[in-house]
Structure 1
């Protein structure tokens, strides 16, 4: 994932760095890796960012399964 993508995801509220320093460097933690991997996988499947954001705001196994089922239906 590119630097520009991470900046954009931060801007639209999908994935925020754990810390930003005075120079603008973004720092992430290992505990954020799961969310990062989910976002990357869903994007690879072509899931729209609005759906990913909605899932991340209401994380549950059920909503994740529903998101995958919806993606499977749409091809």
Structure 2
């Protein structure tokens, strides 16, 4: 037993590819970006924990604080 199904319209319009799908121009691909300048600012990483009532999240907080202190 086989069952084939589909949907569509006889009057469906053909659309052109979106602008992003078209190939880039040669000038755009030839541009080279300059590397980012390294700054001496410290890196700051923020975290958000669901709750500190559960041991799992308490362990995560303690581990992250320990690693952060060691890397300074």
Shared fold (TM-score greater than 0.5)? no
Query: Normalized against structure 2, the TM-score is what?
Result: 0.29
Query: Normalized against structure 1, the TM-score is what?
Result: 0.28
Q: Please say which structure displays the higher CA radius of gyration.
A: 2
